[in-house]
Amino acid sequence: MNRIRPITDPSRPKVYIETYGCQMNVNDSEVILSILQDAGYALTDDIEEASVILANTCSIRDNAEQRIWGRIDQFKLQKRKRDGVVIGIVGCMAERLKDKLLEAVDIVAGPDAYRSLPELLEAVAPDSPQMNVMLSHEETYADITPVRMDRNGISGFISIMRGCNNVCSYCIVPYTRGAERSRDPYTIVQEAKTLFENGYKEVTLLGQNVDSYFWKDAEKADRNVNFAQLLEMVAKISPELRVRFSTSHPKDISDEVIYTMAMYENICKHIHLPVQSGSSIMLEKMRRKYDREWYLERVRKIRSVIPDCGITTDVIAGFSGETAQDHQDTLSLMEQVVFDSAFMFAYSERPGTLASRKYPDDIPYGLKTERLNEIIALQGRMSLKSNEKEIGKTLKVLVEGPSKKNPDELCGRASSNKMCVFPSRGEKAGDYCEVEVVSVTSATLLCKRID
């Protein structure tokens, strides 16, 4: 077995890591832990015994950053209790607010600077904080085997690319994670194999825009690999290994990807396809590079090839200049598509983005909230409508563990990513079960056993 779990060694100095934001940040924390383990540290879940306290941060929304400032105050309590405690902020917020953070913590490291963490820790001294926020055009951490921090050892995340080239007008990511670069596909396949050999049953391939993944072989053009080809390479590891991916961009998801999904049963039939708005006017202003009709055509194509494919999305309420009609366009698109679920947010202006420089944040907070509440209420109805179509269907579910509400029941996800709850027969996390959907809520499929 390869060592992919945290080292437990009481003689090593302890590092405590808090992770905020998306799945990519989870994977980044696992890369950070791998680097620090090699430097002699061991992970701890107890902040009271940590000599190094790190927060891996997100800058997508203002409330995420505000939460970190509150946590920094809590971390400082540990410094007052124990000599030698080092506090570090890493990730996107470190990149965006580097100078301000350096006044509050000991280490600031951006998303491309994780390899330097051991040296930064070594150099920290009283009144001598350390910082590395240099962005890279090459760094993918492809040679680092992440140390898995998940609890169940069933589902693992694999970063296939870093950065983003889209520069949507509202988005801070290109400024905090840099330009897009794709990772060597053979290292991705090897990482997935290692997870499978260590008992994992599911991998999720991660990127800001996975559909634009493209690895160019320096010597042979016929060895170039696009995202559809990478999906197939990972799917061929074993039919017992489920393959998921996130996130897709509507302008880039290709027919080849859709047909590849249909070809392999173990490529999960779920696509997270952020729409952000149903208004072509807003989409142009957001610099999304597609319009309403393009998005709806992609949905039609997905469902014509994979009729039962789960489709989820992101929606922003109250972007700059959004009119009542723009808002109605979003509601009507949601009704037309019937998304399984959605991440829904009021627009939060991020300093440094194109929108912050060019477009006023001119929708009053109360109106944003009103529109967001309408979107949330509608999505609740759409989720229920989507789930009701599952009643009577037989689904293959990967067990995640006991249900939170009833220890005599298990929960797990179908290929579509919908959560299923069903009676236990003593199975454990990582087992597959065949179930039939008998009733639903807007969030869950309630099932009976058929095996």
Residue 423 within a domain:
yes
**224 and 304 in a common domain:** yes
Beta bridge pairs of residue 52: 15, 86
Q: How confident is the model at residue 1 (pLDDT cuts 50, 70, 90)?
A: very low
Give the gyration radius of the chain's Cα atoms: 22
Q: Supply the CATH number for residue 383's domain.
A: 3.80.30.20
Residue 297 within a domain:
yes
**409 and 368 in a common domain:** no
The pLDDT mean for the chain works out to 95
Q: How confident is the model at residue 433 (pLDDT cuts 50, 70, 90)?
A: very high
- Which whole number is the average pLDDT over 328-345? 98
**76 and 57 in a common domain:** yes
**337 and 283 in a common domain:** yes
Query: Torsions phi, psi of 267, nearest 5?
Result: -85, 115
Give the span between the Cα atoms of 254 and 259, in whole angstroms. 9
Q: How many domains does the chain have?
A: 3
- Which whole number is the average pLDDT over 295-299? 98
Strands 86-91 and 52-57 turn out to be parallel
Residue 266 within a domain:
yes
Q: What is the pTM of this model?
A: 0.94
**H-type helices in 280-349, by residue range?**
280-285, 292-305, 324-337
**333 and 431 in a common domain:** no
Residue 137 within a domain:
no
Residue 116 within a domain:
yes
Domain final residue pick, 372, 388, 404: 388
Q: Are 294 and 284 in contact (CB under 8 A)?
A: no
pLDDT tens for each residue of 197-220: 999 999 999 999 999 999 998 888
Q: Are 347 and 170 in contact (CB under 8 A)?
A: yes
Cβ-in-10-Å burial (0-12, 13-18, 19+) of 280 comes to middle
Residues 6+ apart with CB under 8 A from 185: 160, 215, 225, 229, 230, 233
Residue in 98, 95, 127, 121 with CA at minimum distance from that of residue 32:
121
**304 and 160 in a common domain:** yes
**342 and 224 in a common domain:** yes
* Length of the chain measured in residues: 451
Residue 141 within a domain:
no
What is the model's pLDDT at position 27? 94
Range of the domain at 260: 155-388
Q: Supply the CATH number for residue 57's domain.
A: 3.40.50.12160
What is the model's pLDDT at position 63? 77
Domain final residue pick, 345, 366, 388: 388
Residue 163 pLDDT > 90, yes or no? yes
**What is the CA angle 131-132-133, rounded to 5?**
115
CA distances from 414 to 153, 218, 262, 325, 342 (A): 18, 39, 16, 36, 17
Q: The tokens 């199975």 sit on which residue? A: 427
**115 and 178 in a common domain:** no
Q: Are 314 and 349 in contact (CB under 8 A)?
A: no
Give the span between the Cα atoms of 199 and 183, in whole angstroms. 24
**423 and 369 in a common domain:** no
What is the model's pLDDT at position 167? 93
Residue % of the chain over a pLDDT of 90: 87
Give the span between the Cα atoms of 399 and 195, in whole angstroms. 17
Give the span between the Cα atoms of 226 and 224, in whole angstroms. 7
**30 and 80 in a common domain:** yes
Both tokens of 270, joined, read 């779920």
Residue 144 within a domain:
no
Q: Are 207 and 160 in contact (CB under 8 A)?
A: yes
Q: Are 390 and 420 in contact (CB under 8 A)?
A: no
Strands 161-162 and 155-159 turn out to be unpaired
**356 and 333 in a common domain:** yes
Residue 397 pLDDT > 70, yes or no? yes
Domain final residue pick, 388, 407, 441: 388
Residue 346 within a domain:
yes
The sign of the dihedral angle between the CA atoms of 412, 418, 419, 422 is: negative
**93 and 70 in a common domain:** yes
Both tokens of 212, joined, read 């634009």
Q: The tokens 């992970």 sit on which residue? A: 43
CA distances from 29 to 5, 137, 290 (A): 13, 20, 33
What is the model's pLDDT at position 430? 95
Residues 6+ apart with CB under 8 A from 322: 277, 279, 282, 347, 363, 371
User: Which amino acid is residue 206, in one-letter code?
Assistant: L
Q: How confident is the model at residue 372 (pLDDT cuts 50, 70, 90)?
A: very high
- Which whole number is the average pLDDT over 56-68? 83
**H-type helices in 42-172, by residue range?**
62-81, 92-96, 98-102, 117-123
Q: The tokens 């690895």 sit on which residue? A: 215
State the CB neighbour count (10 A cutoff) for residue 391.
Answer: 14
Q: Supply the CATH number for residue 419's domain.
A: 2.40.50.140
CA distances from 333 to 153, 162, 173, 343, 369 (A): 38, 31, 26, 15, 19
Q: How confident is the model at residue 99 (pLDDT cuts 50, 70, 90)?
A: confident
